[in-house]
A and B are shown apart, each in its own frame.
Chain A
Amino acid sequence: MKRLAIFVATTGGPAQIDRLTPEYAPHSMVCLKRGSDILPISGDYDDFVKRGSGVIEREFGPFDYASFRMDVTESIGVGKSWQLGVFAAHAVVASESAELADKDASPDQVIWLTGEVDYDLGVVSVGHIAEKVAASKTFFDNWHDAGVPVLALVPQAENLVEIDQAELPEGVELVGLSSTAELIAQLGLGPTDAQPIAGSAKSQTGTSSAVASIIGTLLISVLILWAYMSGVNQEAVKPAAEKAVQKSAEKLPPPPKPKKLAEKKVVQPRKAETITVSERRPPAGGTCAKVHFGRIEAETQPIQSSNGDIAVSTLKNLCGLKFDFDLGAKSKFIAANLDIESGAFVRGNVKPKLLSGITKTKGKQSWTIDVPRRLAEPLQYRLNAIIGKEPVAAEMQWLKRQSDWNQAVKTLAQKGFSVLTWRHKITP
């Protein structure tokens, strides 16, 4: 069982969530250093825990106790940016695969968080990011020196850009979150753990029959815009289009890596950078239940590509999917994202951290997900990957916010990033 140390980022330095104890007292409280000093955020914490006003009991309850006592190592002031860290601590305590490291324990991983959690489990941006990073500098250095990995989790969008500009020390992995489901995934809490699952997937139960059938075909569309730039007469042929692209680029959020943005070189993905999507189905005589519980290994069958079409698979006897990202022999940064276009949420999509665009890697990286056992409507998703020589996490966050997908991909391609995209539909 891994031991996670949860730290709430504050402008006065990080405060560790030392302990979470169920209590019989009516109100949940936040206490300082295991003493009887009650922090002013206790009322807000009580609201955050209680069903009706908050999300903790709703997502992790019902509880046998009336409240929680949360002990922290340092004071946490006003505001609600502690909510993401507190949600993480409750998720860890509720899980079967991890435990909360107290102040005296040696953690396997340190989690540094700031962010607000709304009633729909969205992660909302907060303020004072630069101050929080500055106040944590020694903290980051100490854990780095101790050889304990540090994962910084912040709301995506502007906070991710802000923290990138604040220059986190080397060795700190940074991930932007838009929902608590992503938080659970980043914490590596397994699908069997108590965890919030968005949408209809939460209530999905039951079994499916065991007849294998593959109707799917594969679509791989490698979207790049090198053609826009590589032609000799391009300036003469499409001056208006070129200006439009430049104008669009001017509206981008502050570039996380100015040097990179200064480059106008267009990179075409090389053949070594590929995505392969495979169906995971049980072997003859097996069931998806046995696959999900790890009793038998699923058989993987790569989906054949068919340019221009969306690959289609049938749900019948489909246990899950496997995404293989081949980066070739040279180390690169890769950020992958699964964008659900329709249908139910995919469970167990714990994305490997190497696919977060923060850490350099090479060769083949895999990401395995389970699909729901039942679907009320087709599940259609788009798998995106951005590959570059510099960290690409901020680019992925930016890409997810764009409404004009093709234009966004063109813009990224102009800046030297490779963008790989797959689209796939699973029918009931």
Chain B
Amino acid sequence: MNVLDIKDLKVEFPGRKSVFVAVNGVDMSVEAGKILGVVGESGAGKSTVGNAVIGLLQEPGHIAGGEIYLHGKRIDQLPYKQKRLLRGRKIGMIFQDPLTSLDPLQTVESQLVETIRTHLPLSAKAARQRAVELIDSVGIPNADERIRQYPHQFSGGMRQRVVIALALCAEPELVIADEPTTALDVSIQAQILELMKKLCAERNVAMLVITHDMGVIADITDHVAVMYHGDLVEYGETTQVLGAPVHPYTQSLISAVPRPDIRVDRFPVVNYIEKAGTPQKQIDISTHWLGKSRDYGKVSGPLVKIRDLDMAFETRGSIFPSRRKYFQAVKKVSFDIEEGETFGLVGESGSGKSTIARLITGLYEPTGGSILFGTTELTSLKNRRDVLAMRRQMQMIFQDPYSSLNARMRVRDIIAEPIKFHRLASSNAEVRQIVDDLLDHVGLGAAAGKKYPHEFSGGQRQRISIARALATRPRFLICDEPTSALDVSIQAQILNLLKDLQEELGLTMLFISHDLAVIRQMCNRIGVMRHGELCEVADCDALFETPQHAYTRELLSLMPSLELLSRANLQTVDHPEA
């Protein structure tokens, strides 16, 4: 018998002008001991399904139709108090961000005990005993000791284990996990997914996993529901849906997922997903202002040469030098980037990869080592004119499309600023023309210039960022996690755009990402970073096929397998271009 049945569920959010239908007639069900994945991109309504089941829809959202059954008993119409008693007791919930999910002022023990005693008739002592057992069962060593600690004393992954323990406190029959591993690093993600799979089987609970990540779906779910704009577009066994998708949306979504095992030339663009990227008026690079970026003189040897780069941040200041504490973010890193290639840096959070990008662009000053750009030593530049000349040649694209554009400036002014500042055009009319062309070229269209950043979506904003970066006619482009805040379908388009631009303009790129699959699609050579150190540098295919360093092997082994995914629509490349 099914633990959860959702029938024709409809959730509405009344807005100022219109009613937003977040979930539009969705049916799904989960059996005990099985995991159902709900997958979709932003705005698909997948989280809303979870919140509707547990009865925590944010005001003014409400269930406008349909039925939800738990063990055949209808629960969506229960009065507030009875609904509350279901939460925790029958339905457990796991949130995305373990860092903010726990009350910082209470010990783990008191949060566990209060939850246990709310639902089960246990004495304080028995409740504590149970709490220790739970903490032990989610794989936190030394449970008896650690339970007395406060949340801030646990690492992110450990905190997510505590959150899972809290969700399991009263032996719920159903657990809803909303993006349970999104905030975590790959290695921790693998452990948490493993734990969830184990607990699901051992305790025979039904699990509803909401995620945007096909890897998670492929890894742990038995069934999958694909959502798009509030509609359920495909639903079935995971192997079936991922291996032979029927609906065009599912097909295009799956083909947009980057894989560590195959390298594609371009991601297939399926119009089902995005129309905004349709080609606009294209400019002829060979005669255009923008094409002059190819005119930098060739350098002999690598374009960027990094030797023994060191960076330490002061974590505790003191007037006494001996009492100061430092965090060594980058330790003796050396590598070269050849002209025209894309060099990838991959690593988990805190590995120092973004710090390197900021050191090269001069946002931070290194505490040691040298950065050679062409023939110029960047760390010893003093003259402001020289510094500006170097800045002009290297630009950066940032991770967060929501904060990388000044919200108070029109798009046109944002892109014009570097051109005007470096005096790259002779008249305002010319600047205007260049800005319009750039907007056309990145696929937005010149009309976008009149508007403000908030009127654009994440993918569109990232295009604006790219146009701004191109506006100094750089020869070296640093991309710091340029797509990690985007949906996969949008990511595929941005990656395509970057590839095209590199080819047209002969750009040299440093591409930074935590995602090995993305790195594989984009880079010629790859450096793997861990704790500020560079473990291994290798050619792309060599790294994936014959990894040398133990850490690289570990990272590769932790990648969720995407073997299941259909390979239709993909054109693989046999010989990656040098």
Tell me if chain B binds chain A: no
Residues of B near any A CB (own CB < 8 A): none
Residues of A near any B CB (own CB < 8 A): none
